Structure 1
Amino acid sequence: MNEIPGDNVQQHLYKILVIGDYAVGKTSIIKRYCTGQFSPNYKLTIGVDFAVKEIEWDKNTSVSLQLWDIAGHERFGTMTRVYYKYAIAAIIVFDLTRQTTFEAVTKWRDDINSKVVLGNQEPIPVLLLANKCDIKDANIDKEMLDNFVKEHNFIGWYPTSAQSDININEAMLFLTGKVLDVAKTNQPPKQIDNSLLNLKENEKPNNAKQQGGCC
């Protein structure tokens, strides 16, 4: 947190993970939120990429969200420990039209919990997004999802669509509020494995992309 000289506005920078299986719409959600745009032809994310969203939270608070787009094929690999470092919150995305992507949600959640915690050893807050809710075949069981997020200690869930711009801003507003509440405890996120790595050149996050389906 830095205070702008000559002003009362405080600047905050927070790292948010956006994870889930491949092609669930992670890149599309980030693009829609950060730029207001949508394209059906995003390339498959390789490794990790990130974007920044600036928010004027109130007259005294400016928030920069650094959204880390973690490739779905990285699932539970050793490099995710590097990518998760210093995250204060996470979003897990699944595709409402692909049941297997929902079945993987708890594995992603367990992966987060095993690799990064807040400074007080509590889990980082995680929001669940049920994406592609505008597709005809999407099946939203609200009661089941309400129970699921309570059972697995998510902070909440939203049905979303990057294509139709449904609940993207609302979900991020909710998450930002939770992040600011966490930050008030003055417990910065830290890596569980404090011995972690000076990265070798060939281990650094790869921001390149290759042709593939929407991610």
Structure 2
Amino acid sequence: MLADGSKIPCFLLANKIDMLEESEVDAKKAQLDDFVAEKEFAGWFPTSAKENKNIDRAATELIRTILDNEKRLSPPTIDDDVIDIRSNKPTSPEKQCC
């Protein structure tokens, strides 16, 4: 569980699709959709490690989901604690450092 009580994002990888015909993969999509919903996965990808199919896509989606959760769960920042080094605004004398 994450800090807010939600589940840790997890994707199902349906590997070895290189061994199936496209029609077989299509026929299993509804079954996989139901399984993913029942087990509360974040989603699923048909993959082939042998042909490197959808491996990067699945990893990218997992990372995107993790980063979205990080933004959603991170504590708010207090402006007084943040210094924008890209800003061209001069700082006030009392906020200047050594």
CA contact 2:4–2:73 (8 Å) conserved in 1: no
Q: Name 2:11's counterpart in structure 1.
A: 127
Higher strand share: 1
Identity of aligned pairs, percent?
A: 41
Q: Report Cα offsets for 1:157-203 as digits up to 9, x if no partner.
A: 0010111010001111111111111101235xxxxxxxxxxxxxxxx
Instruction: Tell me the CA shift for residue 150 of structure 1.
Output: 1.5
Higher helix share: 2
SS of equivalent residue, structure 1 residue 134: helix
Q: Report Cα offsets for 1:53-88 as digits up to 9, x if no partner.
A: xxxxxxxxxxxxxxxxxxxxxxxxxxxxxxxxxxxx
SS of equivalent residue, structure 1 residue 121: coil
The aligned runs of 1:56-71 (5 Å cut-off) are: none
Q: For residues 144 and 131 of structure 1, what CA distance do their matches in structure 2 show?
A: 15
Q: Name 2:52's counterpart in structure 1.
A: 165
TM-score (normalizing by structure 1): 0.30
Q: For residues 149 and 156 of structure 1, what CA distance do their matches in structure 2 show?
A: 6
Q: For residues 122 and 171 of structure 1, what CA distance do their matches in structure 2 show?
A: 21
The alignment's C-alpha RMSD in Å is 1.8
TM-score (normalizing by structure 2): 0.63
Query: Tell me, which stretches of 5 or more residues in structure 2 are unaligned?
Result: 75-98
Rg comparison, structure with higher value = 2
Instruction: Tell me the CA shift for residue 121 of structure 1.
Output: 2.2
Q: Is residue 155 from structure 1 mapped to residue 39 from structure 2 by the alignment?
A: no
Q: For residues 4 and 73 of structure 2, what CA distance do their matches in structure 1 show?
A: 9
